[in-house]
């Protein structure tokens, strides 16, 4: 025998909402939430090649550069502003460098005090360190922090805490670099996922309750929409499709798709009840609504499927994710939600919302010709605006001007450039780069690239050789001997980052300026390649985030058209 209190609880109106099917689905919801939290990765996957698939030419170019040279793309740049010639400033840089080196996952730190020129005066006189560490206005120096691969997410928060701890009015620290940008994008996507999902539940929940005044309808709607999102994410996890740049807000999209079916189904069911058709009202509402819902789902599905043929990887992932979500949404809406309608209690009365809706429909229906004409005219007037769409915006435009990342990137961009571009060249006459004639042409190319308006700074083989010759007795030894020395572990194999072992290929690392850029990135890249050709070199490979962003913009524009 059940205790009296439990018997009374079972007869509460809330528990009267439940049938065996509803209880089973509610239990399944809690199980789904457990599986989602325990087994589904909800962290957006973003890296420097997040827009390109493995068979894309741009991704393959990056792979070729990796095969030819030792790359160190996991660099974090910390700009330290202050009186760079003071002893207090030098001490602050040294203390910060030591603190950064103690962080697990930090491979090395290059600064004016650590693994670099040892002091500001030496850096100013150094062909290499002046470009890498000293800002153009000589008001700051850079700390170049090399992070271990695939550990940025756990390292960067620790670096941020160190920056916060050591920052002060006379020693202002700003962070930039690709790992930092990627980490901030991940954080923003995770935040958006939480915010938009919560807002969808709250706003649409209030809307449903206001529209139908039924706790059963409200509960069924929330559970069905929520489960449609969860099950879609589970299927994507099984298919090894990660959350990405565009699919991070997939939950909101699926929530709305499921909700649209539920609203029309519930509205038809409500009208049947209002007309006195209580017997079999749910089944009749399903028969009445399903055909229209199916065609609506099919058009949505075809829209998502069309995205699966575009070149851009995130759009393809969105197409696959949306296609799965569209099918799951209609299955849940018509397979699960009707059980909630069978036990729901509904007050049949016309509310203010419906009154306004009917009045609005009558008003607009009488003027539909004028409205259609107005829409057509507005469309024609808006067409010239297509020419003003920025398909290749600056990286900084993705962040608020008041944000720390914008301020840090802006300062670094003004002082040496912020976006890496990699140019791999080979002599047109196929001569090794360490021969006198070819090396002189390489030096001329270095100077020509530094004169380009979009280039902040350039590091290449001539800069390394010039730096090596600044050392004691360095001017005595031939270039080949210096390259062999710089390829050793003692010098962190630095020469292998800029010239291949057969001396046929050389790499130019350009830090490009993003602010005030007036030309598309790919046009600027073409100009850079033409400069190389003019100076006797063939641009064999182009890579780096600057080039990838240019092709990203091109892919987005072409994807929108197709």
Kindly report the three-state secondary structure assignment for every residue of 263-293.
HHHHHHHHHHHHCCCCCCHHHHHHHHHHHHH
Q: Are strands 140-147 and 106-110 parallel, antiparallel or unpaired?
A: antiparallel
CATH superfamily for domain 4-47+188-348: Multidrug efflux transporter AcrB transmembrane domain (1.20.1640.10)
Give me the residues of the chain with pLDDT under 50, please: 1-2, 5-15
Q: Please, where are the H alpha helices in 403-520?
A: 404-414, 436-450, 461-469, 479-486
CATH topology for 72-176 is: Alpha-Beta Plaits (3.30.70)
Size of the chain, expressed as the number of residues it contains: 562
Residue 445: name the closest of 393, 395, 387, 510 by CA: 510
Query: Is 4-47+188-348's fold the same as 72-176's?
Result: no
User: Would you say 514 and 453 are in contact if contact means Cβ atoms under 8 Å apart?
Assistant: no
Pairing of strands 419-427, 537-543: antiparallel
The residue ranges of every structural domain in the chain are 4-47+188-348, 72-176, 414-561
CB 495 within 8 A of CB 464: yes
How much is the pLDDT for 500? 93
Query: Taking a C-beta distance cutoff of 8 angstroms, is the pair 560, 307 a contact?
Result: no
Compute φ and ψ for 78, nearest 5 degrees: -115, 120
Question: How confident is the model at residue 49, as a pLDDT?
Answer: 59
Token pair 């067409």 in the structure block, residue:
383
Q: Would you state the pLDDT for residue 15?
A: 45
Residues 375, 262: contact at Cβ < 8 Å? no
Per DSSP, the three-state class of 421 is strand
Question: Pick from 329, 323, 154, 149: which is nearest to 241 by CA?
Answer: 323
141 bridge partner residues: 80, 134
In the beta sheet, which residues pair with residue 508? 423
Question: What sign has the CA pseudo-torsion 142, 147, 149, 152?
Answer: negative
Residue among 178, 169, 167 nearest 144 (CA): 178
Question: Do 204 and 257 meet the contact criterion of CB atoms below 8 Å apart?
Answer: no
pLDDT value, residue 2 = 45
Torsion over CA of 70, 74, 80 and 86, rounded to 10 degrees? -30
Per-residue model confidence (pLDDT) at position 366:
82
Q: What is the pLDDT of residue 562?
A: 59
Specify the pLDDT at position 539: 96
- pLDDT tens-digit series, residues 91-130: 999 999 999 999 999 988 999 998 888 889 888 888 888 8
């Amino acid at each position: 025998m059940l205790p009296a209190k439990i018997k009374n609880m079972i007869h509460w109106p809330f528990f009267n909402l439940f049938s065996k099917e509803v209880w089973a689905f509610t239990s399944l919801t809690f199980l789904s939430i457990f599986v989602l939290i325990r087994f589904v990765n909800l962290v957006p996957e973003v890296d420097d090649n997040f827009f390109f698939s493995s068979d894309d030419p741009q991704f393959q170019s990056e792979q070729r550069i990796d095969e030819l040279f030792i790359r160190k793309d996991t660099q974090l740049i910390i700009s330290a502003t202050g009186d760079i010639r003071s002893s207090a400033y030098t001490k602050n840089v040294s203390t910060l460098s030591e603190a950064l080196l103690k962080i697990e996952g930090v491979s090395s730190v290059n600064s004016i005090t650590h693994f670099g020129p040892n002091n500001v005066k030496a850096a100013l006189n150094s062909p290499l360190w002046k470009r890498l560490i000293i800002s153009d206005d000589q008001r700051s120096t850079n700390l170049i922090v090399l992070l271990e691969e695939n550990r940025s997410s756990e390292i960067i928060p620790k670096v941020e805490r160190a920056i916060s701890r050591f920052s002060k009015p006379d020693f202002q620290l700003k962070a930039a670099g690709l790992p930092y940008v990627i980490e901030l994008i991940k954080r923003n996507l995770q935040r958006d996922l939480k915010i938009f999902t919560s807002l969808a539940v709250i706003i649409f929940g209030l809307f449903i309750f206001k529209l139908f005044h039924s706790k059963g309808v409200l509960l069924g709607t929330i559970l069905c929409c929520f489960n449609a999102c969860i099950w879609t994410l589970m299927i994507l996890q099984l298919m090894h499709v990660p959350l990405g740049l565009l699919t991070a807000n997939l939950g909101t999209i699926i929530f709305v798709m499921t909700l649209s079916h539920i609203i029309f189904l519930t509205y038809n069911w409500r009208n049947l009840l209002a007309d006195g058709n209580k017997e079999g009202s749910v089944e009749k509402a399903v028969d009445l609504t399903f055909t229209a819902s199916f065609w609506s789902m099919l058009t949505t599905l075809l829209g998502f499927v069309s995205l699966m043929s575009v070149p851009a990887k995130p759009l393809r992932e969105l197409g696959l994710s949306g296609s799965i979500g569209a099918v799951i949404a209609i299955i849940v809406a018509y397979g699960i939600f009707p059980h909630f309608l069978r036990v729901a209690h509904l007050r049949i009365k016309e509310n203010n919302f419906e009154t306004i809706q009917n009045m609005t429909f009558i008003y607009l229906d009488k003027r539909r010709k004028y409205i259609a004409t107005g829409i057509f005219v507005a469309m024609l007037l808006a067409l010239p605006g297509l020419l003003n769409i920025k398909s290749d915006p600056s990286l900084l435009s993705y962040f608020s001007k008041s944000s720390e990342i914008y301020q840090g990137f802006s300062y670094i961009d003004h002082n040496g450039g912020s976006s890496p571009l990699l140019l791999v060249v080979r002599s047109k006459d196929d001569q090794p780069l360490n021969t006198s004639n070819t090396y002189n042409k390489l030096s001329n190319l270095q100077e020509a690239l530094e004169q380009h308006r979009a280039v902040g700074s350039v590091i290449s083989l001539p800069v390394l050789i010039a730096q090596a010759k600044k050392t004691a007795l360095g001017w005595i030894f031939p270039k080949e001997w210096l390259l062999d020395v710089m390829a050793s572990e003692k010098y962190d194999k630095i020469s292998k980052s800029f010239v291949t072992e057969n001396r046929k290929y050389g790499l130019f690392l350009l830090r490009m300026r993003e602010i005030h850029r007036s030309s598309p990135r790919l046009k600027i890249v073409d100009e850079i390649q033409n400069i190389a050709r003019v100076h006797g070199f063939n641009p064999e490979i182009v890579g780096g985030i600057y080039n990838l962003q240019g092709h990203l913009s091109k892919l987005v524009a072409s994807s929108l058209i197709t």
